[in-house]
Structure 1
């Protein structure tokens, strides 16, 4: 890297200052150690074009050695720098050989930046947004979009980022977003095979009996119904410690004394997503499910919700396995 940088010092660092000077039309070749060699046999425009191509190649080499050796550095800014140099070189080529249609090479710099990064990163939208923000102008928005799309089409099989996902459906970061949207469209009635019937209390159920069911069913949430089977509320023993349990036993409290204020209620045609959110919001390990007349149909837990979701996706039921 040091050897390359000695001859082409523009290939070191971020290079954004170099691009800024290039866009301002400054004569950069005069500051290079290679200026005498290039200007000796070429015109100033030819020399600048060759110089920019040389700088782009040198930047590729220095970036490759830096990243490949484990050094600190990224790929975003070098990609923009290389694209800007190549874009300027193409613009100079047009100025030299097609002067009637190419008046300046400067607009080719941001176009080259967007095109190169869109190709190597497979990110056309991001490249267009970044370049327009960096240049502070939307005058070249149409050509930026055009070259970004073309570059993406030509280079879509290759990417600097080996672990880049094809789309958001394959990205672990978006897994829950997709799952949540699907769960909102799946109702309990369509998804859950049957509701659990155990652990249903009456208002007069003693606290001692609730503790027995808690131990037997290994859960801490119990729905309460009246004599006609209508849902009254829910009892949750989450967070109740040993001393508090002893105190409640001495007081001989009943289920009706332990009902949660504003007890949650889930109707059988509600979505899987609503049932899951209710369990999480109220810290429950199951939720009661009722019909339109508040008659309790049973309860569902996390396993039932996930099994229902799996059934809707695959069409297959999941059976509980005992060990």
Structure 2
């Protein structure tokens, strides 16, 4: 599942490592699927009118998590048996996995941008209207597909192999793909997310977002969880790049990088899936707070707060 290792499923790992990884992934799937389905059901059942854009994003987040977790049984099977499902299945499974992960990251990022604009620049946000919000959601999934393309294009099953893994024409191409993923899958979204919340918190003391300790805790949790759960996979990618760059160095250096990368692959894989399992618990109570607050009251509060800035 890790996109920077030679194989998305490290079938050469010791049996104990594969067993632990399979167990953790299975638990995440068993907890995360019902949790995200519950989020969908609760929001849809308790929202009598068309949900506002924040709730649409939360529905989008739950949907992307469900899509990711639905692929987990395939990865667990191949952890134990190797990739026996063929080339087409490798491409499809890779596409669904990374599409869902990219949609997850982009949704969390857009949540931060939306709250920033809605509080500090409400007139600008209101000009979007329903059609503009729908276009944003479609653009989000379109961008997620575009960001997924390099991972799908470079993954394949070679003759005689039991691995759905990355194959590139050269080391330069591999480094380019890894840098692309680090920058656009992590650095840019995380920077936008942190900037949005920090600027919002700095400019407004009592906003609709930070009017209670619970909401402040939510924002902090979102940023911290995003960083902690996504940093391992990006460290793996950096180690992969370092190993390519330093391939002319003494063998012990390359071997050390390979050992550290392989050890971190299993952790990164589990963290990525755990992220989808954690989302319902981070956002469930927030959706209740937003849903219960009248929309007109929220806008009136925002206008008053912006006037006082």
TM-score by length of 1: 0.27
Higher relative contact order (CA closer than 8 Å, sequence separation 6+): 2
Between Structure 1 and Structure 2, whose CA radius of gyration is higher?
Answer: 1
Structure (1 or 2) with the greater strand fraction: 1
Structure (1 or 2) with the greater helix fraction: 2
